[in-house]
């Protein structure tokens, strides 16, 4: 029994059906962690990309180092660091928040590269026209560059969204009970791993495919030339 649900071991189908409610509780954690992590990665990723593009060298250069550092260290190391080391400095975050934050930070480094490619792909003439019209640098990004970059970077962002969904099980190592963690506990208690793990795998498959389909729909819905942000 778990969360008040009894499991039925009479046959695999009945077993799967009886543990589904538990796994779905884990699914909400997986989805919440993905959403929060993705939003964090979108925001920090954009910030990193913009900082890296500044003309001020003492800002751009350290930013590049930070991006490289985040990209080149394992997610799980970063996660442990946030979970076990930060409390030593008095920063105590709930496990779920720590996990989502770690996901978001790791992916922000990838995302900053996606943004960079998108921002670089906007033709230089657009920047010159914006300069000639006396738009400030901030305004140039908000009105001209980012709106034109978004349709170009959407497919790559979709890839990272799916990738992040598949990385959420890492959270189980810091005691966050998401789908995979719950499935393993069920396996540990019943000595039957096949059904819970298969179920979790199937749900991940459906989740990822749904996310991909959603991104593709968004791609089709957005005009290729760009969107207005204001």
Partner 1 sequence: MTDTQDPIIKFSDVTKRFGDLVVLDHFDFEVNLGEKVALIGPSGSGKSTVLRILMTLETIQEGQIELDGIPYREPGGHGPFHASAKHLHNIRSRVGMVFQGFNLFPHMSVLRNITEAPVVVLGLSKREAKERAMQLLEMVGLADKADAFPTQLSGGQKQRVAIARALAMRPRVMLFDEPTSALDPELVGEVQEVIRGLAHEHDLTMLLVTHEMRFAREIADRVCFFDKGRIVEQGPPAEVMVNPQEERTQNFLAPYLADRQAGV
Q: Kindly list the residues in this chain that would bind partner 1 in the complex (CB under 8 A).
A: 55, 123, 125-126, 128-129, 131-137, 139, 143-144, 147-148, 223, 225-228
CB 99 within 8 A of CB 176: yes
How far, in Å, CA of 54 to CA of 130, rounded? 17
* Contact call for residues 153 and 122 (beta carbons, < 8 A): no
Strand partners, 2: 5
Least Å from the CB of residue 92 to partner 1: 42
Beta bridge partners of 5: 2
Helix/strand/coil percent split, the chain, to 5: 80, 0, 20
Tell me how far, at minimum, the Cβ of 147 lies from partner 1, in Å: 5
- Please, which residue, 150 or 197, has the CB nearer to partner 1? 150
Contact 81, 89 (CB under 8 A): no
Give the nearer residue to partner 1 in terms of CB position, either 169 or 226: 226
139/217 with CB nearer partner 1: 139
- Minimum Å gap between C-beta 152 and partner 1 is 12
**Quick one: 91 or 222, whose CB is closer to partner 1?**
222
Judged by CB, which is closer to partner 1: 142, or 174? Answer: 142
Question: Is the Cβ–Cβ distance between 119 and 45 less than 8 Å?
Answer: no
CA 129 to CA 135: how far, in whole Å? 9
Q: Cβ 63 to partner 1, closest distance in Å?
A: 19
- Smallest gap from residue 136 Cβ to partner 1 (A): 7
């Amino acid at each position: 029994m778990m969360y008040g649900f009894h499991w039925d071991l009479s046959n695999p189908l009945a077993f799967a059906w009886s543990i589904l409610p538990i796994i779905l509780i884990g699914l909400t954690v997986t989805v919440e962690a993905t959403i929060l992590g993705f939003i964090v990665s979108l925001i920090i990723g954009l910030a990193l990309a913009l900082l890296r593009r500044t003309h001020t060298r003492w800002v751009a250069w350290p930013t590049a180092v930070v991006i490289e550092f985040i990209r080149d260290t394992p997610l799980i190391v970063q996660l442990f660091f946030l979970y076990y080391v930060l409390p030593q400095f008095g920063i105590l975050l709930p496990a779920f928040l720590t996990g989502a934050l770690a996901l978001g930070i790791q992916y922000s480094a990838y995302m900053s590269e996606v943004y960079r490619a998108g921002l670089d792909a906007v033709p230089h003439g657009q920047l010159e026209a914006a300069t000639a019209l006396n738009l400030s640098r901030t305004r140039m990004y908000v009105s001209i560059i980012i709106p034109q970059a978004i349709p170009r970077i959407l497919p790559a962002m979709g890839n990272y969204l799916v990738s992040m969904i598949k990385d959420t099980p890492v959270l189980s190592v810091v005691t966050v009970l998401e789908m995979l963690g719950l499935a393993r506990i069920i396996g540990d208690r019943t000595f039957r791993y096949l059904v819970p793990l298969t179920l979790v795998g199937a749900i991940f498959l459906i989740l990822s495919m749904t996310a991909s389909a959603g991104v593709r729909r968004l791609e089709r819905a957005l005009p290729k030339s760009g969107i207005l942000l204001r």
